[in-house]
Structure 1
Amino acid sequence: MTAAVDAVHQLDLAPSHVRRPGVTGTLLIEAALAAAVGGDASAAGELTERAAHLAHGEQRDHDGNAFGAAAVDLARALIAMSFGDHQLAVAVHRRVTSGNAWHLLPAEHRAAHLIDITHAYLNLGNARAAGQALVVADSIAPSETRIRPVARVALTAVLRAGPTAADVTRLSAIIGPTRHQR
């Protein structure tokens, strides 16, 4: 969080023709997520609001990254999840993923978010939705689902939750669940 905030400060000091709102916004989102992981709700909220202010009206910035209102809202969902508000996390997630801006985000960003949101679904007892999120993530960006260890952990949790849909079972056969290490 400190490194990202320091970088934002340096960008704020740069002449206006050098400033890059997409880079600044992305750093603010990363700092907000780090604050949430660290349990600092106040900082997470403040940093997210600063990012939202920069994102107002943006879908994709001229720097070519995925900074915009959808990215800020996805961060809000993950921050809510970090603080145990899984209902809010899923509500924000559903709102963002049903909008057009969702499809403008890079495939890897969308898949990573879907993998992350499985934890909110699982905490709400909705293993079916968690499994579906993993299947959709795999269809969007297979490398995200098949390489990230957190995807295997989520898949294992879905499988342990009870009977799964055929597409989740197929995904499990492809990537395999987490195996306990000795």
Structure 2
Amino acid sequence: MSKSLKDKLPLYSPPESVWENIEQGLNETPLQEAIRKLPVHEPPTQTWFDVSAQLPHSQRSWWRYAAAAVVILLIGVVGYISLQRSNENAIISYSQEKLNPKTMVLPNETIEKQYAHLQALCEERVTVCEKPEFKALKQELDDLTVAGNQLKEALGAYNTDAALSAQLSEIEQERADILRKLNERIL
């Protein structure tokens, strides 16, 4: 019978003003005073135990926490072992190279002095200095010199920016390497 009534009766939603009037009526002073005058009764403690017993218990038990702890422990042990094995496979190697003393960049000379010496050698051995690979290295050295000078200007007198100082050191190292390569080609 309830199915037949649901199908035949029309649905009706009251306007919002009806709900607002009901809410106002609930907040009126006489009703609030009557609610305050109602007696308050505390149920016996056993009632709460009975209610608690009837509630569905969560399925979490100690074994789930133990299983989670075991999984975390296993992940930690496996991670530790794999890190130890990767450290054991590390190989230390070294090599020795013999440099031609004539092509070495001397530490007591500045790169500018060595470059001036290279220019003097180029005047004697023009054919070597005219080769495209020599010219390309020389152009790269000139570009690095310009970049180094710009960095020196950016650093200023106090040299306070560590990143720029590191870049300047890298440029100077590259200049020394290129100068060594130019010396090898000219000799």
> TM-score with structure 1 length normalisation?
0.20
Larger Rg: 2
> TM-score with structure 2 length normalisation?
0.20
